[in-house]
Structure 1
Amino acid sequence: MRSLTNTYVFACAFTFALWNNIQPTIEDEFIANYSSILLTNVPKNIPVHTQVLDFSHNRISGLSVSEFIYLSDLQVLNLSYNLITVLDFTVFIFNENLEYLDLSHNNISKCYCCLTLACLRHLDLSYNKFTALPICQEFGNMFHLEYLGLSATMIRKSDFRYIKHLQLHTVFLTFGNFSLYEPQSLTVLTTRNLHIAFAANQNFDFSLLYDGMSTSENLKIDNLRYTLSYKHFPSPPLMLLKKIKTTVLTLDAVDLQWAIILQIFMLIWYSPVEYLTVRNLTFRGPLEELTEYAFIPLLSSVEQSISLDGSMRALTLEHVRNKLYYFNQEILYRQFSEMNIANLTINDAYMPHMLCPNRTSSFQYLNFSHNALTDELFQNCGTLKDLKLLILQKNKFESLRKVSFMTSRMKSLKYLDMSNNLLRHDGVDVQCQWAESLSELDLSSNQLADAVFECLPVNVRKLSLQNNQISHVPRGMAELNSLEELNLASNRLADLPGCSGFTSLQSLNIEMNLILTGEGCIQLCQHERNFIPGKSIVENIITCIEKSYKSIFVLSPNFVQSEWCHYELYFAHHKLFSENSNSLILILLEPIPPYLIPARYHKLKALMAKRTYLEWPKERSKRALFWANLRAAISINLPISSEANE
C-alpha cells in the first residue's frame, strides 16, 4: 500500500483575513534600494523615473544638487543612519514632488534652508547633533506637513514660532545631552501626537511632561529617570489640570522613586487622561529622609482618589521591577484592587498576589499575565461581577478545580485565558464550578490529561486544549452542547476523538497528534501551516491540491454558495480529469437542496449528480460505517477508534 507519510490530504478551510494584509505597492521599476551596501556617496546611475529611493544604513557624509537633479519624480527619500554632518535643503531644488524625507540618525549639526519643499508631508531630523531646534522660517510654508521629527540639546519658546500655525499630526523630539528647557515652549505647538525621547543617562526635566500634557491628545515620553532626592522633585503647578489636553499617555523606560510615581499618578488621575500605559517601570526608594511612615498619608489620599469617578478607563503596566524591597506590598495591591476603572493590565511584574476589591468593582478587563500568581487568587471573591475578560497566562496556577471556583462568582465573565500555567486535574470525585457566562476558555500549554473533560464550563463555545497530555476523549463526560470550536492540537491522541457530546461543533483541530504524525498516517494541508506567505491564495490552493493524494470537500449549504468552493472544486475537478485519478472525495455535512447551489457552479452540480458522496450521519449508530467508508475512500488504514460509533 502506498505510504502517505509525505503526502497530504487537502482540507477546505480558509481564513479571509489574508486578503486584508495585501496592500498595493509601487512597481519595482520606480523603487531603488541602495540600503546597507557601505556607500560613501550617492551613486550616479539612479534611474531617472525613481519615485522611492532608499540610502539608509550607509556611510554617506555629504549631499549635492547634482546627485538629485534628474530625479524629478522622486517622492520618498530615506537617508537615515548615515554620516551626514551638514544639511542644505537647496540640494532638493529639483525634487519638488518630494513628500517623504528621512534624515534621522545622522551627525547633522547645521541646517541651511532657503527652500520650501511645498509637498513635504514627512520630515524626520531626529537623532542628530543640533544644539537648537533646526526649524527654519521656510518650514512655515510646508502646509502639507504631517510628521516632523527634530532633535536638540536645548529648547526655547521662540524655537517653534515659525510652525505654530501648522496643524501637525505627529511631532517627535529627541534630546541628547539636554541642557535647557524654557517652560511652556511645547505649548506653542499644534499637534495631535507628541513623542519625546529624553536622554537615557540624564535626570528628566518634568516640565516636559507637564507641558507635553498641555500640548497634545496623545503623548509618549521615553526615559523618565530621576536620581535626585524626592524633596527636589518639581511638583506640578496648580493650574496645570485646567490646561491638560492629553487623553492617551504612554511612559516608557521609567526609573523613579515610589513617592514621585505616586505624585505623578495623582496628577494623571485628576486629569482628562483616559488611557495610561507605563512600560519598563522601575520604582525605588524611599530614601533615608522619607521613611515608610511618610507614605501612609500619601497612600491614603491616593486610595481615596482612585475610588472616585475619574476620566481614566484603562491602566497598563508592563515589565515592572520593584527595588523597594522592604515596602509592604499589600498596601500597593490594595491601591490597584480599588481602582474605579474598566481595564487593568499588570504584565511581567513578578506579582505574587492581588487582593479582591472591597466593594463591587468596575473592572471589565483584567490582564495579569506573566506574573507569579497562584491558585489563591480571587478565591471567594464576589465583587468582580462586571468582569468580562480575564487573562492569567504565564503564571503558577496548578489546580483546575480552584480556577473554576475562582470564576464561579464572576457573573459576567465571558473569556478566560489560563494558558502556559501548571494546571492539572485528577478527576477523582472532584466537582468543578465555573461561571455560567463563560463562553471562551484557553487552557493550552498546561499539564492536563483526559480527566480535564470532567471539569469544563457547560456553556463554553470556544475551547483550546492545545499542547497538553490528552490521549483520548473519554466516554460519559458532561455534554458541551454549545461547543463550536475545539483545539486538541499537539496532544497525544492516538485515534479520532468521539464527539457525541459536542452537538454544535463546527471546528476541530487535531494536528500534531499521534493520529496525524505516525508512520503511514495522514498529514493535512492546512492554510495556517502550509500556505506560503507572499503567494496568492489561489496559488496556494493549486499547490496543495497538486501535492495532495486526496482532496476532501466537506460541503455545507454556506460553503457551496461561496466563491472559495467554486475555486477549489474547479482545480480539484481539473486534476480529476487531467490525471484520470480518483482523488476527489465529497462529504455532505448536511443535506443540500439543489436550489441552494448557484447556477454558475455547474461543475459542482455535475459532480454531485455523477459521483458518489459520503453523508455525515446524525444517528450515532451509523457513524462507525461512515468512518469505515472514509477509510476505504482514502485507501489507507486509519486508526480504528473505540468510539467510532459516536
Structure 2
Amino acid sequence: MEFNIKSLGNMAHWFHLLISVGIFTSFLQFTLNYSFKNCNESVDSKKAIFKCIKRQAQTVSAIVDDIPPSATNITISYCILSDIPSGSFSHLPELKILRLDCNRIRKINEDAFIHLMHLQTLNLSTNAISYLSHSSFRGLHNLTNLLLDDNQLKSLPLDLFSSLTSLKILDLRRNQLFNFSAVVHSITHLSALTKLKLSFNSLNSLHHSASLPQSLATLYLDNNNLNTLGCSREFLSSVKVLDFSYNKFLSSRAFWGMNLNGLRYLRLHSTNVSIIKLLKCNFTKVPPQCIDFSGLGANKPHFLSSLCKQLSHYPKIHIRNMTLQSNGIRTLNKTMLSNCPKISGILDLSYNELKNIKCLEFLKDQKQVRSLKFEHNHITKLLSCKTATNLSLPNLKELSYRYNRILYISAFAFIHAPKITTLLLNINIIAYMDKKALSGLRDLVTLRLDNNLLSDLYAESFEDLHSLKTLNLRNNRIAVIFNNTFHSLGNLTILDLGGNKIAQLMPQAFNGLDSLANLYLDRNRLEAIDDQQLGRLHRTLQVLDLCGNSICYYTKQPYSPFVNLTKLIDLKLDGQLPYGISILPSAFFRGLTSLTRLYLSNNHISYFNADIFDDLKSLTFLTLDNSGAGVTQLKPGIFKNLQKLVTLSIENMGVESFSEEVFGNLTALKVLHLNRNALQTMDIQLLENLTNLQYLDLRNSPLSCSCLNSDLQNWTKNNQKVQLVYLYDLSCQDLNGSNFYNFETDVCYLDLGVYLFASTYFATIVLILVPLLHVKLYWKFKYGYYVFRSWFGEQWRRLREEEEKSMYDAFISYNSADEKWVMEKLLPNLEGNGSSFKLCLHHRDFEPGRYIVDNIVSAVYNSRKTVCVISQSFLRSEWCSLEIQMASYRLFHEMQDVLLLVFLESIHERQLSTYHRMRKVMLKKTYLQWPQPDCTDPINAQELFWKQLKRAISSSSRCQEEQSEVDLQMGQPTEGNMEERGHFGSQPNLMP
C-alpha cells in the first residue's frame, strides 16, 4: 500500500508538470479533433506547417497550445501579442522555423524558447521589443537565422547570443543601437556568423573592445550616423561585403590606414567619401573593381571622366561590373569611358539624369559590355542608329530602358546591338514605335513593352524576331489584333496582351504562333471566344487567361469554343464584365480533356447545367467563388466526372445543401472552401465518405445550433482527418453569443418534439381509421375477438370433440320477426311428419345463464348444419349477423360444408351489397328460396322446397371441393358461372 501511494504521488507530480508546460493539454485536445483555435495547417504538410495570422488571441499559449508536437514551421503574424512567456513553445520540440513578426511584442521572458533544440530560423522583426534578457535565446543551439529588425532595441546584453553557436545571419536593422562595441562583444564568439545587418541604427563609430568573428563576410552599416570608423587597422580585414552607404558624415579620412584588401564589394553611396581621393591615395588597398561607384559623384561635372582617369592608373585590373547609379550624369560622350578599364559584365547607369544616349556611342571603347542599364533616367526617345555603321556591339546581350519617359522609337533603333537577347522597354510612355524599330534583332528572346501607350501593332514590327520566346504587351491601348501580326514568331511561347482594349481579334490574328504555350488576354473587351482562332493553337497552348473581359452568352444551346484545345491545362474566365457570364452554354468545356485548373469566380452564373463539367476529367483545381446568382442550386451529378479534383472553392455561392448527389463523387478532394454560403447543416456521412478531404472552410455560414447539427458538432470534436478552419470562431446565427463547437446538445438525445409529433401523428391516423374499420370490418373484428376468447379458454378443443358427436342436425338462425314461420312451417316439417331431424333453436336450446356468444358458438359447432333464414329483419339483426359469420368461418376457413341459406322473401341484389360474407357464400354455394304466393303452383313448390332442404341437411360435412364435384354431377352451377345461377326474384330457386 505504501508503494502505491508513493507511485500515485509521483504520477501526480508528473501530471502537474505536464500541465504546467502545456504538453498534456495540447496533446489531449489534438487527439480529440483536427481543428485549431487560432491556426491553420497548410494542406499536405503532414501536421508540420501552421499559419496563425490576424488572430485576436492575446497570449501565445492561446494560439499554440493546440498545435501538435510534430510542427516544424509556425507563422504568428499580425496578432496582438505583447510578450513571450517562458516555455511558450516547449511542447513543440521539432520546430525549425518560427515567425513572430508584425506583432506588438514588447517583452521576451527568460527561456521563452527553451527546448527548441531544432529551431533554425527565428523571426521577431517588426515588433516593439526594447529589452532582451541574457537568457532570452537560451537553448537555441541550432539556430542559424535570427531576425530582430524593426524593433526598439537600444542595447544588447553581453552574453545575449552565448548559446547561438550555429548562428549565421543576424539582422538588427531599424533599431536604436548606438554602442557598436557592445554589439561586437555580444557576437564575437559566434564562430559561424557570416552576415550581420546593422542598417538604420544610431551608430556613430566602429570603436570596439572585441574583434569580429573571422567567419563574418557581410556587414551592413548603412543609414547610421558614422562620421569616423575608429577601429583597428585589421578590424574589417576578413569582411568581404561592406556597406557604408547613407552615412553622410563619413569621409575619406575615416579609412586612413584600414586594411580592406579582402573586400569583394564596397558600397559608399551618399557618403562624404571622395572616391577619387580614396583611389588616388590607395591607403586602404581597396580593389577598385569591387567598389560600387553609385552616389559618389554628388552632381560633380566630369565625374565619370575623372573616375575613369583615376582607374587608368590600375592597368592590370579587370572590372566585371561597374555600377554608376545616382551620380547625376547628364550626358555620355564618345570618350567618357575611354580611360576606364575594360568592363565585361554589367554597366549600370540607372538613377541618373540622362536624356539622350546617341546610339550608345560612348561604348565605342567598351564593346565587351554584356548588360547595359539606363533605368530611372529621363530618356524621351530612341533615334535611328542605321547611319551609325561604324559602331557595333556584338557582345551586348541585355539592354534595359525601364522607368524612363520614352515617347517613340525610331526605325533601326537597335541595329547597333544585333545580338541582344533581352530588351526591356516597359514602364515608359511609348505611343509610337516604327514598324522597323526592332529590325535586326534576330537573337532577341525576351521583349518587354508593357505599361506603355501603344495602340497599334504591325506584322513588320516583329518580322526579324525569329528567336523571340517572350513578348509582353500588357497594359497598353491596343484595340485590334490584325491578321498575321505575329506570323514570324514561330518560337514564341509566352504572349501577354492583358490589360489592353482589345475588342476584336481578326480571323488570322494568331497565325504563325506554332509554339505558343501561354496566352494572356485578360482585362480586355472581348465579347466572345472564337473557336476557330483558338483552334489554330491546339498543338501547343497550355495556359489561356481571359479574365476581366465582356464575354457573355444568352442561350443554353451547345457551344464549345475550346473543343480543339486538348493540351490546355490552365483556363481563367474570372470576372467577366459588367455582370459576369450569366449563362454557360451546354458543352461549353468540351474538348478540354487535359485541363487541370479552371477559374470561374466573380461571374454570377444563374444556371449550371448538370453536365457542364463532364469533359473535365483531369481537373484538379476549380474555383467558383462569387459566381452564384442569389441562392444557387447545384444540380445533382454536376461534379460526377471530377474524380481527380483536389481543390474546390465555392465561396459565397449561396449553396444551401451539402448533398451526396452533388459532392459524392469527389473522392480525391483534399481542400473544400464553403465560406460565406447558406449552409445550415451538413451530411456527416458524406464528409466521412470523402476519404481524402483534409481542409474544410465553413466560415461565415449560418450553421444552425440545433439538434439538426448535433452530429456535426460531435464530428468536429472527434474527427482526426479533416481540418475545419477556425472551428472555434464559428458562431451560432440562431443563438446570439453562442459558439458552434459547444452549443448545448444534451436535449437532442431525448427529442420530445419528435416523440410528441410521432404520438400525435399515430393518434390522428388511429382516429381516422377507427370509424372506417368500424363501418367496414366491425363484425370481422368482433367475430375474431370472440373466436380468440373461445380459443384462449380452450373452447376449440371442447367444441371439436363435441362436433364429432353432433348433438343437432341443424342450428336454425333466424330473427324473432320470422319466428312464426319457423314454428309453424319449418319445425313441423323437419322434426314432425315422420322426420328424424333434431334442430337447435335459441329460445328452446340455449343454456340459460351462459353468454349469448358462447351459446351461439356452441350451437354452430354442435350442429352438422347451420340454416340461416334470410329476411329483411334477419339482415338488420346484429346477432343473426354474428351467427352467419360463425357458420361462414367454418365454411371458408375450416373447409366444412355446414351453411345453408334460406330466403323467405325476395331481396334485391343492391340490398345485399354491404353483406360481403353473405355474398361470398352465395357465390360459393347454391341457396334455397321459399316459394312466393304468386308462383304458379305453390303447393308443389313448397313440397319440393322441403324435400331439397331435408336432403341438404342430411348431407355430410365435406370440403368445398368435394361438394363442388357433387354439384357438377347434379348439374348445379359452380363458382364463376353466375349466368347459370338463380336470381332474387319471384321465381323460386329450388336448387339443392
TM-score (norm 2): 0.42
Tell me: higher relative CO, structure 1 or 2? Use CA pairs within 8 A at least 6 residues apart.
1
Contact 2:333-2:362 at 8 Å conserved across structures:
no
Residue 550, structure 1, aligned to residue 732, structure 2: no
Aligned to 2:620: 462
Structure 2: distance between partners of 1:82 and 1:517: 59
Contact 2:559-2:586 at 8 Å conserved across structures:
no
Structure 2: which 5+ residue stretches go unaligned? 1-33, 50-71, 74-95, 98-119, 122-143, 147-159, 162-166, 188-192, 441-457, 688-692, 699-714, 724-744, 752-992
Contact 1:10-1:548 at 8 Å conserved across structures:
no
1:155 is paired with a residue whose SS is: helix
Query: Within 5 A, what are the aligned runs for 1:113-512?
Result: 115-126=258-269, 136=279, 148=292, 150-151=294-295, 152=297, 154-156=303-305, 157-158=308-309, 160-161=311-312, 162=314, 165=317, 171-181=322-332, 183=334, 185=337, 188=341, 192=345, 195-199=348-352, 202-205=354-357, 211=363, 215=368, 217=370, 220-227=373-380, 237-238=388-389, 243-246=394-397, 249-260=399-410, 263-264=412-413, 270-273=418-421, 275-284=422-431, 295=434, 303-304=459-460, 306-308=462-464, 310-317=466-473, 320=475, 330=480, 335=485, 339-340=489-490, 341-349=492-500, 352=503, 356-357=508-509, 359-368=511-520, 371-376=523-528, 378-381=530-533, 382-385=535-538, 386-399=540-553, 405-422=560-577, 423-427=580-584, 433-451=590-608, 454-456=611-613, 457-470=615-628, 471-477=632-638, 479-480=640-641, 483-491=644-652, 492-498=654-660, 499=662, 502=665, 505-512=668-675
Q: Which deviations, in whole Å up to 9, do the C-alpha atoms of 1:283-340 show, x marking residues without a partner?
A: 1469xxxxxxxx567699984473446343223345x456xxxxx9658996557534
Structure 1: distance between partners of 2:407 and 2:568: 37
Contact 1:425-1:452 at 8 Å conserved across structures:
no
Change in 2 beyond 3 A, CA 1:155/1:408: farther
Contact 1:360-1:384 at 8 Å conserved across structures:
no
Q: Which has the larger radius of gyration?
A: 2
Change in 2 beyond 3 A, CA 1:141/1:281: same
Tell which deviates more after alignment, 454-463 or 108-117.
108-117
Aligned to 1:589: none
Contact 1:347-1:367 at 8 Å conserved across structures:
no
Structure 2: distance between partners of 1:354 and 1:131: 59
Aligned to 1:577: none
> What letter corresponds to residue 71 of structure 1 in structure 2?
S
Q: Which of the pair is proportionally richer in strand? A: 1
> What letter corresponds to residue 532 of structure 2 in structure 1?
N
Q: Which deviations, in whole Å up to 9, do the C-alpha atoms of 1:341-360 show, x marking residues without a partner?
A: 22223454555555553633
Structure 2: distance between partners of 1:165 and 1:216: 16
Aligned to 1:100: 241
Q: Which deviations, in whole Å up to 9, do the C-alpha atoms of 1:597-621 show, x marking residues without a partner?
A: xxxxxxxxxxxxxxxxxxxxxxxxx
Post-superposition shift, 1:528? 11
Structure 1: distance between partners of 2:250 and 2:462: 47
Q: Which deviations, in whole Å up to 9, do the C-alpha atoms of 1:534-582 show, x marking residues without a partner?
A: xxxxxxxxxxxxx972232379xxxxxxxxxxxxxxxxxxxxxxxxxxx
Tell which deviates more after alignment, 135-144 or 73-82.
135-144
Structure 1: distance between partners of 2:341 and 2:482: 38
Contact 1:472-1:497 at 8 Å conserved across structures:
no
Post-superposition shift, 1:107? 3.5
Structure 1: distance between partners of 2:370 and 2:362: 13
Change in 2 beyond 3 A, CA 1:257/1:158: same
Change in 2 beyond 3 A, CA 1:279/1:424: same
> What letter corresponds to residue 494 of structure 1 in structure 2?
E
Residue 72, structure 1, aligned to residue 220, structure 2: no
Q: Which deviations, in whole Å up to 9, do the C-alpha atoms of 1:40-69 show, x marking residues without a partner?
A: x65553341425554423566x64x5x246
Change in 2 beyond 3 A, CA 1:26/1:221: same
Q: CA RMSD in A?
A: 5.4
> What letter corresponds to residue 408 of structure 2 in structure 1?
W
> What letter corresponds to residue 96 of structure 1 in structure 2?
S
Structure 1: distance between partners of 2:680 and 2:391: 65
1:48 is paired with a residue whose SS is: helix
Contact 1:458-1:479 at 8 Å conserved across structures:
no
Query: Within 5 A, what are the aligned runs for 1:593-608?
Result: none
Change in 2 beyond 3 A, CA 1:431/1:54: closer
Structure 2: distance between partners of 1:119 and 1:528: 56
Q: What number of residue pairs does the alignment pair up?
A: 512
> What letter corresponds to residue 505 of structure 1 in structure 2?
A
2:625 is paired with a residue whose SS is: coil
Aligned to 2:64: none
Structure 1: distance between partners of 2:530 and 2:310: 54
2:720 is paired with a residue whose SS is: strand
> What letter corresponds to residue 155 of structure 1 in structure 2?
L
Change in 2 beyond 3 A, CA 1:526/1:436: closer
Contact 1:196-1:221 at 8 Å conserved across structures:
yes
Change in 2 beyond 3 A, CA 1:76/1:463: closer
Contact 1:173-1:197 at 8 Å conserved across structures:
yes
Post-superposition shift, 1:361? 0.9
Change in 2 beyond 3 A, CA 1:453/1:364: farther
> What letter corresponds to residue 46 of structure 1 in structure 2?
V
Contact 1:425-1:448 at 8 Å conserved across structures:
yes
TM-score (norm 1): 0.61
Post-superposition shift, 1:122? 3.7
Change in 2 beyond 3 A, CA 1:163/1:174: farther
Post-superposition shift, 1:174? 0.7
Post-superposition shift, 1:487? 1.4
Q: Which deviations, in whole Å up to 9, do the C-alpha atoms of 1:461-516 show, x marking residues without a partner?
A: 22322412343431254842563324124133233253578466343413414377
Structure 2: distance between partners of 1:494 and 1:438: 28
Post-superposition shift, 1:451? 0.6
Change in 2 beyond 3 A, CA 1:489/1:266: farther
Structure 2: distance between partners of 1:185 and 1:33: 39
Structure 1: distance between partners of 2:584 and 2:717: 42
Q: Which deviations, in whole Å up to 9, do the C-alpha atoms of 1:89-119 show, x marking residues without a partner?
A: 9776322222332223444795465544244
